[in-house]
Amino acid sequence: MIRKLGRFIAVLILPGLFLGLTGCGQQEGTESKMDYTAAEGYEIASEPTDYVDILMDSGQHLVIRLDPGAAPLTVENFKKLAGESFYDGLIFHRIIEHFMIQGGDPTGTGRGGSEDLIKGEFLSNGVDNRLSHERGVVSMARTPLPDSASSQFFICHGDSQFLDGDYAAFGRVVYGMDELDRIARLETGPGDYPETPPVMEKVFFVQPQT
């Protein structure tokens, strides 16, 4: 179900513009052993869980609860990348208020991704994924090819049910909607590229405090 990207350069998109931008991806010199804490009400997990905390450069958190029942391969891939610290230092490179914020490209341009391509887990590709693209839902970006998703993902800022059936929703934000709103309101330029790209400082597994 997972195949290698190899030399193929994917332009991962949502409906609208193909991105052809230059920008910053993983931050050179980013401190790999930074001190960090989990979002309020959560604690850092020693093993992978279905909760992922995105610590932003603002110091605020976005916590995502993954939904393996909706998209098991997509969740497995996201967990693999998070466990490898793939997302640490990457940016949200495309922002459209009331629609979505998109990130996870190591080049920061919208044209890159991780090594592996995964099956698109959505209805038009033969997968009965019932998770709807409501505000706060997390889903995978892709090219027009159905099985072209890799590392780029987007978080719905507004209800976007018109994406249902064509994109692999795989989780939702359960903490940090104020931070999602802040990011969505950032000033952008051509191609919806933020003037000051927000950075995912650290992406790590957490669990609710007991």
Mean pLDDT of 50-65: 98
The pLDDT assigned to 22 comes to 31
Q: Answer yes or no: is 18 within a domain.
A: no
Q: Answer yes or no: is 3 within a domain.
A: no
Q: Is residue 35 very low, low, confident or very high in pLDDT (cuts 50, 70, 90)?
A: confident
Question: How does pLDDT run across 89-129, given as a tens digit for each residue?
Answer: 999 999 999 999 999 999 999 999 999 999 999 999 999 99
pLDDT at 9 over 90: no
Q: Answer yes or no: is 5 within a domain.
A: no
Q: Is residue 34 very low, low, confident or very high in pLDDT (cuts 50, 70, 90)?
A: low
Q: Answer yes or no: is 129 within a domain.
A: yes
- Is residue 84 within 8 A of residue 78, CB to CB? The reply is no
Q: Is residue 79 very low, low, confident or very high in pLDDT (cuts 50, 70, 90)?
A: very high
Q: Answer yes or no: is 64 within a domain.
A: yes
CATH number of residue 51's parent domain: 2.40.100.10
pLDDT at 3 over 60: no
184 residue type, one letter: A
Sign, CA torsion 13/2/26/137: positive
Q: Is residue 192 very low, low, confident or very high in pLDDT (cuts 50, 70, 90)?
A: very high
What phi and psi values does residue 146 have, to the nearest 5 degrees?
A: -65, -30
Q: Answer yes or no: is 65 within a domain.
A: yes
Q: Is residue 147 very low, low, confident or very high in pLDDT (cuts 50, 70, 90)?
A: very high
Domain tally, the chain: 1
Q: Round to whole Å and give the CA distance between 99 and 147.
A: 23
Give the residue numbers spanning the domain of 114.
40-208
Lowest mean pLDDT among 19-28, 69-78, 126-135, 170-179: 19-28
